[in-house]
């Protein structure tokens, strides 16, 4: 009888451990993930931005663009988060309603761009466009968040993604042209 009780207790212990392990894995799998996206548009340009962030703190950036190679020319183009969720193509200059480079906080300087470039929170690597007018950018950043924080892209006035005409040379105190120049395309970032 003692052997039978011991076997039952051992079986219960094993089952308890399995339940605990499965429950722990299920809890871990349900770690909050924050996601956002933007539909990017501009004259003869279209694209999609997908952003995701989990509890490790980094935001994964996935950007795909395509356009007329006469407009979205082959080579490198600056990509930045901008400080306002407003993409007015008719504004002069185009998409200027998106404001300056995203750079909140007591030491932030969104405009003029030369003041804090290339150290803005919204600065991202350049995207390379091929001969067909297509390009992809996959990167991560720890400079912004998708949840409520002092550096969230989803604050009261939101944020936008801007694709620039020129390469961002990432030069400290460089000119606006060296920081990407004119704005070719824009997308409002929205939480999903």
Tell me which residue has tokens 């996935």: 62
Instruction: Give per-residue pLDDT as tens, 62-103.
Output: 999 999 999 999 999 999 999 999 999 999 999 999 998 888
Residue 109 has pLDDT above 80, yes or no: no
Residue range 144-156: mean pLDDT, rounded: 93
- Please report, rounded to a whole number, the percentage of residues in the chain having pLDDT higher than 90: 61
Distances, alpha carbon 180 to alpha carbons 5, 19, 103, 114, 125, in Å: 75, 55, 16, 11, 11
C-alpha to C-alpha distance for 128 and 115, rounded to whole angstroms = 26
Instruction: Give per-residue pLDDT as tens, 2-53.
Output: 554 455 444 443 444 433 344 444 444 555 589 999 999 999 999 999 999 9
Residues near 126 by beta carbon (within 8 Å), at least 6 away in sequence: 76, 77, 78, 79, 137, 167, 168
Mean pLDDT of the chain: 83
pLDDT for residue 54 = 82
When comparing pLDDT for 177 and 150, which is higher? 150
When comparing pLDDT for 106 and 36, which is higher? 36
pLDDT for residue 103 = 82
When comparing pLDDT for 107 and 172, which is higher? 172
pLDDT for residue 114 = 63
Instruction: Give per-residue pLDDT as tens, 156-187.
Output: 999 999 999 999 888 887 778 887 889 999 99
Peptide bond into 119 cis (omega under 30): no
When comparing pLDDT for 143 and 22, which is higher? 143
pTM more than 0.85: no
What DSSP string runs through 81-101?
A: EESSS---TTSSSTTGGG-SB
């Amino acid at each position: 009888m003692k052997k039978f009780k011991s076997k039952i207790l051992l079986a219960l212990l094993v089952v308890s451990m399995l339940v605990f392990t499965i429950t722990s894995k299920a809890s871990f799998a349900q770690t909050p993930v924050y996601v956002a996206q933007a539909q990017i548009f501009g004259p003869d340009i279209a694209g999609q931005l997908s952003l995701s962030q989990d509890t490790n703190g980094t935001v994964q950036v996935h950007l795909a663009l395509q356009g007329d190679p006469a407009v979205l020319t082959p080579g490198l183009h600056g990509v930045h988060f901008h400080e306002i969720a407003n993409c007015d193509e008719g504004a002069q200059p185009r998409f200027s309603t998106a404001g300056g480079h995203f750079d909140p906080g007591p030491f932030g300087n969104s405009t003029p761009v030369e003041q804090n470039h290339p150290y803005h929170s919204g600065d991202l690597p350049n995207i390379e466009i091929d001969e067909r007018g297509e390009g992809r950018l996959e990167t991560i950043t720890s400079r912004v968040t998708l949840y409520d924080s002092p550096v969230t892209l989803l604050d009261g006035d939101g944020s936008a993604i801007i694709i620039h005409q020129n390469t961002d040379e990432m030069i400290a105190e460089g000119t606006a042209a060296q920081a990407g120049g004119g704005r070719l395309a824009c997308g409002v970032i929205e939480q999903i």
